[in-house]
């Protein structure tokens, strides 16, 4: 933890007015949470926050430090951060997280996801999260995205302000170089943590930071600022494209965010189709898809014959095609369904295999209340040949024919709860009630099924 040493020739490069100028550009917040790792950039940000709060008590700052548990010095970092924040008069919260990477996830990504997951839980409405990314971080992000073949969205790098959790995220130092931060820290005699893992060049960002950018700057000293301008140009262009894609997405189906109509999507050229699908995924909480995945969606889902039901699967999600629609949901395992389940018909019933919850709506035209209260209610799942008689229709109907005629996708049919009273099939999920048990007035019972996201019929 090196200490900066003040010299007479040095003058402060930054001041509290700089931070105030950034924050007042955006909606005022009840609390400004400062992500404080103890490193150089967040130490500078904490110092500026302390100076600003002493000049203007309308800014309420709190610090949060994330204990990843990945380094042996992690406990010492907690002590350093706690002492520093206390000395500056800023309350601090310590959160412990698990940052072990999942299969296929890099250590950097795992640590970042764990860190931002903790931040996400903390930020309430009218709160702002402040992070210390600076100009050189922006340059590194741009180069990383370029090396990965990213499009405009990736090359836009980090915005100064974005929506986050229930509030917003602001990066006040994004236009400030690391050298300027270091000069300020030395002038203020700050003490900060030097994470030894930052020297490990097996991490891509460290390789860029320690070996690539310094070399490039010997030829182009203002490279970080130039890259930041390029990132800003990419962000402007991407915003225009996304605004147009959002209009197309609304025109495709304004009342539905989980599915897309294939025939209307197919009217656009492939480039526009990709842009629409990217935005569709983004709006549903998915990360930016790789070009290979987008090509797969276009070829297998959009290009499939009308009688085919292809599935495109990747670690984060699934897209399935059924008839004229693309369906989007998180990956899930096919349910393993066994014997029937007994239900008292009074309390909500949590179904196995994550298949949702059954409840009842009373005082409506539905299953005869006397039958519901006197019979033995059980839940089964489709086997083969089940039939039901529907109101105002003659004869009994095979469930498989009803599913097909109403367009219920195959992956939903297998998990649709079939409700029996004794051995009589009285209801199929929240889709149909048998005419054999239907009440003649508004005193009946209607089953409700809150299924998993991938089984919601929202088309």
| Domain ranges (residues) in the chain | 16-230, 253-329, 341-455
| CATH for the stretch 253-329 | 1.20.59.20
pLDDT in tens, 322-352: 888 898 888 776 667 777 899 999 999 999 8
Residue 335: predicted pLDDT: 67
Residue 1: predicted pLDDT: 52
Beta strand ranges found along 272-370 (DSSP E): 311-314, 317-322, 325-329, 341-343, 349-350, 357-364
Place of tokens 């019972």: 445
- pTM of the complete model beyond 0.75: no
Whether residue 104 has pLDDT greater than 70: no
Superfamily of structural domain 16-230: HUPs (3.40.50.620)
CB-based contacts of 406-410 (< 8 A; 24+ apart in sequence): 406/431, 407/322, 407/323, 407/459, 408/457, 409/309, 409/320, 409/322, 409/327, 410/309, 410/322
Question: What is the Cα–Cα distance from 126 to 75, expressed in whole angstroms?
Answer: 31
Question: What is the Cα–Cα distance from 173 to 192, expressed in whole angstroms?
Answer: 17
CA neighbor of 262 nearest in space, from 359, 348, 328, 332: 328
Question: What is the Cα–Cα distance from 233 to 150, expressed in whole angstroms?
Answer: 15
Q: What is the rounded average pLDDT for all residues in the chain?
A: 89
């Amino acid at each position: 933890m090196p200490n900066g040493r003040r010299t007479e020739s040095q003058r402060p490069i930054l001041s509290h007015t700089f931070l105030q100028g950034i924050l007042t550009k955006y909606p005022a917040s009840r609390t400004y949470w400062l992500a404080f790792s103890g490193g150089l950039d967040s130490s500078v940000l904490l110092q500026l926050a302390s100076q600003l709060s002493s000049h203007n008590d309308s800014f309420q700052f709190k610090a949060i430090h994330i204990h990843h548990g990945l380094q042996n010095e992690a406990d010492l970092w907690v002590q350093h951060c706690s002492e520093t924040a206390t000395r500056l008069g800023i309350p601090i919260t310590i959160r412990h997280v698990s940052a072990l990477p999942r299969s296929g996830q890099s250590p950097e990504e795992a640590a970042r996801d764990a860190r931002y997951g903790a931040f996400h839980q903390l930020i309430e409405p009218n709160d702002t999260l402040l992070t210390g990314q600076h100009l050189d971080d922006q340059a590194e992000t741009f180069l990383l995205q370029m090396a990965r073949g990213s499009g405009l969205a990736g090359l836009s790098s980090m915005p100064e302000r974005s929506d986050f959790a229930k509030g917003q995220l602001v990066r006040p130092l994004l236009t400030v170089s690391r050298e300027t931060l270091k000069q300020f820290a030395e002038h203020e005699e700050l003490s900060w943590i030097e994470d030894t893992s930052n020297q490990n060049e097996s991490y891509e960002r460290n390789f860029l930071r320690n070996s690539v950018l310094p070399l490039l700057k010997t030829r182009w000293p203002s490279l970080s600022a130039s890259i930041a301008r390029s990132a800003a140009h990419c962000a402007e262009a991407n915003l225009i494209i996304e605004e147009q894609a959002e209009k197309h997405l609304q025109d495709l189906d304004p009342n539905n965010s989980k599915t897309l109509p294939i025939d209307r999507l197919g009217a656009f050229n492939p480039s526009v189709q990709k842009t629409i699908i990217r935005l569709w995924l983004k709006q549903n909480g998915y990360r930016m898809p790789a070009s290979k995945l987008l090509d797969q969606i276009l070829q297998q889902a959009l290009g499939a014959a009308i009688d085919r039901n292809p599935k495109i699967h990747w670690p984060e999600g699934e897209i399935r095609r059924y008839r004229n629609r693309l369906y989007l949901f998180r990956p899930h395992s096919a349910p393993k369904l066994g014997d029937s389940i007994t239900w008292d018909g009074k309390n909500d019933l949590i179904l196995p295999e994550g298949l949702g919850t059954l409840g009842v709506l009373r005082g409506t035209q539905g299953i005869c209340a006397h039958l519901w209260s006197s019979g033995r209610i059980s839940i089964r799942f489709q086997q083969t040949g089940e039939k039901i008689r529907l109101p105002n229709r003659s004869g009994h109907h095979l469930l498989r024919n009803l599913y097909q005629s109403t367009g219920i996708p195959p992956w939903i049919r297998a998990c649709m709860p079939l409700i029996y009273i004794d051995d009589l099939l009285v209801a199929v999920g929240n889709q149909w009630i048998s005419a054999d048990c239907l009440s003649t007035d508004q005193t009946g019972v209607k089953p409700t099924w809150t299924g998993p996201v991938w089984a919601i019929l929202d088309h």
